[in-house]
Amino acid sequence: MDFDKILEKCGNAGRYQYLMILLLGYIAFTTTVHYYSQNIIGFVPQHWCYHEQLVDRSFEEIAAVYAPFGKDASCTRLDKIEGNNLTVSSKACQRWIYNYDYGFRSMNAELNWVCDDAYKARIGQSLFFLGSLMGTFTFGMLGDRIGRVRAVILANQCGFVGDFLTTYATNLVQFASFRCISGLAATANYYLMFILVLEYLAPKLRNLAISGTLGICFCLGALVAPWLSVLAGNWRIYLTCSALLQLVVALFYFVVQESAQWLITRTNVEGAIARLKHIAHFNGRQVPPADFEAFRRNCIAKRKLSNQPEQTAGIIDLLRTPNLRKISLLVVLIFMLTSLSFNTISRNVEGLGMSPFVVFSLFAVVVPPSGFIQGLLQSRVGRKATAFLAMLCTGLLSCALGVALSMEGAHSSVTLLLSFALPMRLGISLSYTVTSQYASELLPTCVRSRGIAAVHLAAAGASFLSPYLIHLGTKLAAATSLILALLLLTASFCTLMLPETNNRQLPITLADGEAFGKGESMLSFDCWRRHDDDVSKQPAEELKLQPMVNGQQPAQPGTEAEV
């Protein structure tokens, strides 16, 4: 009896699974608030150099005074103001008048990190992403060594500590150091929980239930993040709230069971059975002891059959065999391209002619539809076709926007920009979430945490280019959109070379990973094949295991197994 069969007896779509989906939703919510905090605390409100004669004037009047200086208005210091006669001072500006957007005092405004000191905020943001790189790798390794649950909790506590300490930062060194600590949780706090939940879910819950829940929770996080900052009124209070949300994750230790599949790969079969018994009790299922005994014999036989102990498997082992190597490298490339596109599109909330708080809200509204569309498409056409269509459509939209922006005056039309930006935000959200789930399913359980860590590490490295792509749009309006189109169309083509995972038994060992999807063509979509024996179909390795479970020797090549 293999893992999928014993999990079905214990309940793979019961109360425990729905509880896990809700907890994953909470993680998605807190991750979104934490992720966008880096943008929100760094918002730069409209500002002008302080002058005593401007103190009692309205913001419109101040803007009119500085209007002749164009782009340099924010950093130009005036010596005298006599009607329309303005005398520019040779001294650098030391104080500013800020027009706070919705009354929110950002970090840049409070610390006066504008004009010549604007680089300080960028250094802090760079250290945040550096922390993300280190955290993705470190917690990915820990996830396969100390377990998924402990790694999830540790990652979120790093986010709590980093955000909380940042509220006390008063200089660049403190700010950069604390943002690096906060960045340790930027990716790891979500994908580790996603892996843990995925390993306990029935195939039917991996589509609409999980996608819809994530879509709603990502939307709530994206909506709450900007308006929580407005309600707080100050970036320090906002970061404190963000930190407290992550502190709650420590309570997961008393609720969430460790991954049974991970315990099996660590040769801790008894620990896996104990977790499965707890899940069966939680789901109100009665499982005969004989079933657990059959599962125990299956695990022991499978470990004997395997040529390599799974507890010693590492990331390098993903590259030792041809099929698994091809899948792993394609997953890395696709996720790098998708992540870079996602960060560029979702973070580009300034420069659209509207308040960034409003743009954040508009972007958030399209996230739930993307989740439900993902769930519906995955259940009907499969992961592969869903990822391919999402990337292809988003890439074509980006190409169309690039062509439109190449026309004179198009970049000043708010309606035109939003008519393209919102569908692209929906498409890239769908692309990112389906790719994240798809990648988690393709890699074997024994190295899944470290493998996904490596994937996210590469994606985080690629995302460093995101600010430069956004900045490129200020120089060449169409360049950013055309580059994104090229990235997404390339990713969509590469997706065709991956095998389907919908309604398939996911690989557990390296041998499973090597055999997974062999013989599938580029156009082998889930919607074009029969489903009468998808999940119940016995894999070839199970046929080899059956004699060993029954106390016999496996059949040698060229002979028939005894019946």
Task: Report phi then psi at 470, rounded to 5.
Answer: -65, -45
CATH classification for the domain delimited by 313-522, as one of 3.40.190.10, 3.90.1010.10, 1.20.1250.20, 1.10.10.1100: 1.20.1250.20
Quick check: 559 pLDDT over 50? no
Query: Any bridge partners for residue 48, and if so which?
Result: 97
Can you give the length of the chain in residues? 563
Look up residue 355 and give its amino acid.
S
Beta-carbon contacts of 158 under 8 Å, excluding residues fewer than 6 positions away, are 135, 181, 182, 184, 185
Instruction: Give pLDDT, residue 478.
Output: 80
Instruction: Give pLDDT, residue 26.
Output: 93
Quick check: 188 pLDDT over 90? no
Question: What mean pLDDT value characterizes the chain?
Answer: 80
**Do the domains 313-522 and 1-19+125-219+241-304 match in fold?**
yes
Give the whole-angstrom CA distance, residue 498 versus residue 148. Answer: 26
Task: Report phi then psi at 268, rounded to 5.
Answer: -100, 70
CATH no. for 1-19+125-219+241-304:
1.20.1250.20
Instruction: Give pLDDT, residue 538.
Output: 44
Beta-carbon contacts of 493 under 8 Å, excluding residues fewer than 6 positions away, are none
Helix (H) or strand (E) holding 302: helix 289-305
The whole-model pTM stands at 0.72
**Per-residue pLDDT tens digits for 349-388:** 665 667 778 887 888 888 778 777 877 887 788 888 888 9
Cβ distance 18 to 213 under 8 Å? no
Q: What does R_g of the chain's alpha carbons equal in angstroms?
A: 27
Beta-carbon contacts of 243 under 8 Å, excluding residues fewer than 6 positions away, are 159, 160, 161, 163, 164, 167
Instruction: Give pLDDT, residue 161.
Output: 93
Beta-carbon contacts of 360 under 8 Å, excluding residues fewer than 6 positions away, are 36, 222, 223, 225, 226, 349
**Nearest Cα to Cα of residue 390 among 489, 478, 527:** 489
**Per-residue pLDDT tens digits for 474-518:** 677 788 889 999 999 999 999 998 888 877 777 877 787 788 877
**Nearest Cα to Cα of residue 162 among 248, 234, 239:** 239
**Nearest Cα to Cα of residue 241 among 164, 132, 184:** 164
Domain segments of the chain: what residues? 1-19+125-219+241-304, 47-99, 313-522
